[in-house]
Amino acid sequence: MNIGILGAGQLGRMLALAGYPLANRFTFLDTTGQPSAGIGDIMVFESHAENDPGQLDAFLAKVDVVTYEFEHLPVDLVRAIEAQKPVYPSSQAIQVCQNRAEEKALFDRLGIPTPRYRLVESAEQLEAAARELGCPVVAKSITEGYDGKGQAVLRDPAEAAEAWQSIGHSRLIVEAFVDFVREVSIIAVRGRDGQVVFYPMAENVHVDGILRYSLAPMPDLDAQVQQTADDYIRALLDALDYVGVLTLELFQTRDGELLANEMAPRVHNSGHWSMDGAVTSQFENHLRAIQGLSLGDTAARQPTCMINVIGREGDPESILAIGDAHLHRYDKDERPGRKLGHVNLVAPSHAELLEKVRACAALLPDAPEPQFSFE
Ligand code: AMP
């Protein structure tokens, strides 16, 4: 099959790498002007691509099925594509996931607990919400937010005017700050026939809103907690009649409760560990799902930790000298804060895994100290 991918970053690159063994071909459609996939056929669309039917027709002529690796796309463009070719997941999923208010409304409707929140449309309303929820609170733009961008933490309601100014959006969501034990994510895949498979949950360590480490399976994970996460994500998959990989990020509180933070309608950074640590990677399973093929086993082969390579690459040679270390480079230029690649470390036990993680982090110039909740 010829697969069309909306977006052309590293997630698209890794989808293509997983698809070549299945004899898939890839055409990327980039709307950012900065494609980095470095693989397959890349078509760069100017910002209002939907106004240029010739360009869109050229893309559609090349592909049998369309998916995406980036959700901040014009919904109109996705709908125009959907009118002509199968798109998985659907434009409805994209619409919900690119809007934090719609996402939270869906969580509420399905009975998935979230941090307490309010929607606000002015600095005054932000201040009132901060007072009502109790500081600290996190204010977030409703659209276009990712990797902690478009957010501000308020330690006092008096900081509302400044926070409103710094975010610069006309509608915000304000959330009570969760005193979590850890951040986790659940990734599941739904096939065209409705079959669903679940990956083991990962513990995710963020610094300044950016993912730095993901570890799965977690050594101290209660089966009941995994079951709860599976139930939440299954409800979302079924409600959206979803096809492909869906990611749900959650906070785990001291009493073991899970609160949904946000979801991503695509393969996710917190699932990169599956490339070397699971029987079937999230990328392969996404491609299987959208083509109507059988889904692969999601079990972890061994404890695995993914470390993001951000800003500077360090010395790839010394990283590769670590046993069972797998380096995935995205072929991008170094720039502060930019995701340049990741390392997957695999070990027979969590103790050995943590030793490798520390050794590897020491080789990455900008890696923060690895610290997991179970240590
Ligand atoms: P987000 O873009 O919503 O995933 O937020 C980025 C990061 O900010 C999260 O991974 C958390 O580390 C932190 N964060 C976001 N919302 C909250 C919250 N309500 N309580 C505590 N931390 C939060």
- State the DSSP string of 288-305: HHHTTPPPPP--BSS-EE
Atom 13 of ligand 1 has which residue's CA nearest to it? 209
What is the spatial order of strands in the sheet that 172-176 belongs to? 117-120, 172-176, 137-141, 151-154
Given the structure tokens 């490339």, which residue do they identify? 275
Task: Return the CATH fold of 180-361.
Answer: D-amino Acid Aminotransferase; Chain A, domain 1 (3.30.470)
SS3 76: helix
Residues having CB closer than 6 A to ligand 1 are 115, 138, 140, 145, 148, 175, 177-178, 183, 206, 209, 249, 261-262
Decide: 167 and 143 in contact? Cβ < 8 Å: no
* Residue 17 alpha carbon to ligand 1 centre in Å: 31
Cβ neighbours for 7, distance < 8 A, ≥ 6 positions apart: 28, 29, 30, 31, 32, 68, 69, 70, 73
Ligand 1 atom nearest the C-alpha of 137 is 19
Q: What is the pTM of this model?
A: 0.96
Atom 8 of ligand 1 has which residue's CA nearest to it? 209
- Which of 144, 169, 261, 270 has most ligand 1 atoms within 8 Å of its beta carbon, as the pocket-test mutant? 261
What do you get for the CA distance between the two ends of the chain, in Å?
45
Going residue by residue through the chain (375 aa), what tens digit of pLDDT does each one get?
Answer: 999 999 999 999 999 999 999 999 999 999 888 899 999 999 988 755 555 778 889 999 999 999 999 988 889 999 999 999 999 999 999 999 999 999 999 999 999 999 999 999 999 999 999 999 999 999 999 998 766 678 999 999 999 999 999 999 999 999 999 999 999 999 999 999 999 999 999 999 999 889 999 999 999 999 999 999 999 999 999 999 999 999 999 999 998 899 999 999 999 999 999 999 999 999 999 999 999 999 999 999 999 999 999 999 999 999 999 999 999 999 999 999 999 999 999 999 999 999 999 999 999 998 999 999 999
Burial class (CB in 10 A: 0-12, 13-18, 19+), 224: exposed
What is the domain partition of the chain in residue ranges?
2-87, 116-176, 180-361
* Residue 20 alpha carbon to ligand 1 centre in Å: 36
Give pLDDT, residue 256: 87
What architecture does CATH give domain 116-176?
Answer: 2-Layer Sandwich (3.30)
Residue 106 in tokens: 């869906």
- Which of 138, 173, 183, 371 has most ligand 1 atoms within 8 Å of its beta carbon, as the pocket-test mutant? 138
Decide: 113 and 260 in contact? Cβ < 8 Å: yes
Atom 2 of ligand 1 has which residue's CA nearest to it? 148
* Residue 278 alpha carbon to ligand 1 centre in Å: 27
Question: Interior CA angle at 125 toward 121 and 126, to 5°?
Answer: 90
* Residue 248 alpha carbon to ligand 1 centre in Å: 13
* Residue 206 alpha carbon to ligand 1 centre in Å: 9
Residue 245 in tokens: 């990989």
Residue 34 in tokens: 């900065």
Atom 18 of ligand 1 has which residue's CA nearest to it? 177
Give pLDDT, residue 128: 98
CA separation for the pair 245, 265 (Å, rounded): 7
Decide: 301 and 352 in contact? Cβ < 8 Å: no
Least Cα distance to 121 among 74, 160, 153 occurs for: 160
Cβ neighbours for 51, distance < 8 A, ≥ 6 positions apart: none
* Residue 209 alpha carbon to ligand 1 centre in Å: 7
Residue 212 in tokens: 């730095």
Least Cα distance to 215 among 13, 371, 11 occurs for: 371
The domain 2-87 is placed in CATH, from the list 3.40.228.10, 3.40.190.10, 3.40.50.20, 3.40.50.2300, at 3.40.50.20
Ligand 1 atom nearest the C-alpha of 115 is 19
Give pLDDT, residue 47: 59
SS3 173: strand
Give pLDDT, residue 350: 97
Sign of the CA dihedral running 86, 87, 93, 96:
negative
CA separation for the pair 192, 242 (Å, rounded): 8
- Report the 10 Å Cβ neighbour count for 375: 8
* Residue 90 alpha carbon to ligand 1 centre in Å: 26
* Residue 370 alpha carbon to ligand 1 centre in Å: 19
- DSSP class of 38: -
Report the greatest alpha carbon distance in the chain: 58
